[in-house]
Structure 1
């Protein structure tokens, strides 16, 4: 059955057609997102929800979305999506951070020109029939120092454009290396020094606990007199009351804001001040950008629903389409390893340790970790997935650690999962053979070679004669067909294990009969989601 997607905001017809061309059943209802009750009633039947900013994916909406797997935001900001609720429900939230980079960067440059030459006020004056040439004395950008706060995708484009304007560019970004700064042709600098030296300051950071209100009255006082400030990033990065006071005092010569602490902004301390340029969040508002983000979100959602590729996700590791092809069997193995240890563990789990060896150690380990944790959690919560599992583990206080190492054994690559409780540690390892099939290769430190089936039986016992016959006889007498039978032992006469791949679930009375023989330390039926 084809996945079903709801588009509840205005997206381009080309984006709608992408879903249809990929074989996805799509309902295009661009005004539905404005009606909360109608959206609440409609959402349960959809696998995907494509939105812009009008639709509010609240906790109530998300909790009603029984089949929803992905929410795609055509744009960068996801303030209209309750990401915590989505994560707990196992719903991927993705955005399109690259579709409007150029457009937003160009808007910041345009705003810088506008405030440098007082263009909006001069235009309004001239429209009014005045000719106030001497009133609107501006400044050149050439030779001025631009301070860029946040030199990522959009900030990097602003840096490039500013260099073309012959400006000296200073950049503050904790994630910007000296090598990258040299390559960009900018000077990496600390924030305090940037405030002291910049003639123009432009912000290009997300709003987080660290960046909220990052420009305060104290920060404004650090800046050189006559500075001009541009914010086309997110509202709430600048204390608007403090900036208004600095503008009125003349310490700040001008400001250009496209974003505000409260939007829609029908009032602000910055409104109606001299040499303050304001626009209604137009950073991404170009024909090209709107088309780009719509097409991008449609492609991303279709890729996830059809292939499992995760791109630009905000609440789970991303896996490109190419990675998905290579990693698919390893993700399946990671899930099986987690599932094995989860089914074998009855006590509360304190820690999960995951070892990656060889070729698999070079892959997307965050995604593999999520698959392991989801596998472990399935016993307690069958509806858990790679999105919700890490959230549940964190809530339970489970410590997750990862180790990766170069090839150390007979296999090109393998994964080993160890679960730690107050009473014991339990470990299992596996690999992917050249045929693409996952295999168990070690349990409790005992080497084996076991194909993974939907229904399996795991037993432990002392290494004594008769176990194979006992198991075979019990299965045969009860009509349980054995597809594969794997044995392993620690040493002659030591601890031994058996892992049977069987065609059907084992009846409870067979498990009980095996336990009454007194030959087994443990008899455990297992079930795996085998593709």
Structure 2
């Protein structure tokens, strides 16, 4: 059976797959659409990250496809409904990168609240902005507001509470009397209540029709003055231009964006600001999480293809 891997994957996991299957591993394949289409023509499985678009056109060119492994958790680059119609299993790496994302959220919040870490170039030039940088804020005692309270949100809440933060969360899929609130010590609130109370707002929701543009100018204006926004979910949820305006006008204390409406982002709406952290969709990618994610997907794809082979042999 043949497996195509179109984006980067841990080499040990690739070698594990090579021991059992015919594997083509080319991390640059995602950037060569014609080569990708040719590669999947006889593929039984395809392994991707977030950039490979597993759409109708690609699926039509892969008649033997039985599984799509996703080296991550978001599925907005995969036409899940079309896969279901073809009985193609979609296999995400649920939970394997949760710690990496949760740590990113907390580190970003601490950096932005304290507000001093962008001063290194000034110090190196001989400047001494001690007075200007003496009003940074501590993390302890602040309120973290989580929009979405799944596995990553729950882990971020645990880390935050260990630092002395209190945590509230908005998740309409979880009832207010659900046991998870008492188990985690997190308060369920409405979205408006969260925006009024939270010193740090962190997004942990998928990109859906109902969440696209959720953080537009009007909703950003409802955030607590001086609050910090962290987005590690999907870029289309935040109006990037409106966010930059709020930062430039001093209404927000800072923001960290790891995801963007277009990746890589284009245009001039993302201004260079000392309180705006921009990273290239790597919140969930560390040396350790890459190993965990890759291993999990290698195991899941192997199991799927082995089960299919066994069923065919019967």
Structure-2-length-normalised TM-score: 0.90
Structure 2 equivalent of residue 293 of structure 1: 293
Deviations 1:263-305 (A, max 9, x none): 1124453422342222222202211111111111111111111
Query: Quick check: 1:63–1:89 contact (8 Å CA) kept in 2?
Result: no
Deviations 1:26-80 (A, max 9, x none): 2333333322212222222121111224433332221011211111111123333
Query: Quick check: 2:17–2:23 contact (8 Å CA) kept in 1?
Result: yes
Coordinate RMSD, CA, aligned: 2.4
Query: Quick check: 2:257–2:279 contact (8 Å CA) kept in 1?
Result: yes
Structure 2 equivalent of residue 168 of structure 1: 166
Structure-1-length-normalised TM-score: 0.55
Q: CA separation in 2, counterparts of 1:199 and 1:50?
A: 39
Structure 2 equivalent of residue 149 of structure 1: 147
Structure 1 equivalent of residue 43 of structure 2: 46
Structure 2 equivalent of residue 345 of structure 1: none
Query: Is residue 281 of structure 2 the alignment partner of residue 302 of structure 1?
Result: no
Q: SS at 2:290's partner residue?
A: helix
Q: SS at 1:294's partner residue?
A: helix
User: Of 57, 60, 73, which aligns to 2:54?
Assistant: 57
**CA 1:237–1:299 in structure 2 vs 1: closer, same or farther (change >3 Å)?**
same
User: Of 59, 70, 73, which aligns to 2:70?
Assistant: 73
Return structure 1 stretches of 4+ with deviation > 4 angstroms.
none
Q: CA separation in 1, counterparts of 2:296 and 2:243?
A: 37
Q: SS at 1:50's partner residue?
A: strand
Query: Quick check: 2:116–2:136 contact (8 Å CA) kept in 1?
Result: no
Query: Quick check: 2:113–2:253 contact (8 Å CA) kept in 1?
Result: no
Structure 2 equivalent of residue 8 of structure 1: 6
Post-superposition shift, 1:216? 2.3
Structure 2 equivalent of residue 190 of structure 1: 190
Query: Quick check: 1:201–1:230 contact (8 Å CA) kept in 2?
Result: yes
Q: CA separation in 2, counterparts of 1:60 and 1:75?
A: 22
Deviations 1:108-138 (A, max 9, x none): 1111011111244222322343221222231
Deviations 1:316-354 (A, max 9, x none): xxxxxxxxxxxx9xxx9xxxxxxxxxxxxxxxxxxxxxx
Query: Is residue 132 of structure 2 the alignment partner of residue 135 of structure 1?
Result: yes
**CA 1:145–1:135 in structure 2 vs 1: closer, same or farther (change >3 Å)?**
same
Q: How many residue pairs were aligned?
A: 311
Give structure 1 stretches of 5+ with no counterpart: 310-327, 333-528
More strand by share: 1
Q: CA separation in 1, counterparts of 2:42 and 2:294?
A: 22
Q: SS at 1:229's partner residue?
A: strand
Structure 2 equivalent of residue 221 of structure 1: 221
Q: SS at 2:242's partner residue?
A: helix
Q: CA separation in 2, counterparts of 1:84 and 1:195?
A: 34
User: Of 158, 170, 175, which aligns to 2:156?
Assistant: 158
Relative CO higher for 1 or 2, CA cutoff 8 Å, sep ≥ 6?
2
Structure 2 equivalent of residue 232 of structure 1: 232
**CA 1:176–1:128 in structure 2 vs 1: closer, same or farther (change >3 Å)?**
farther
Post-superposition shift, 1:83? 3.1
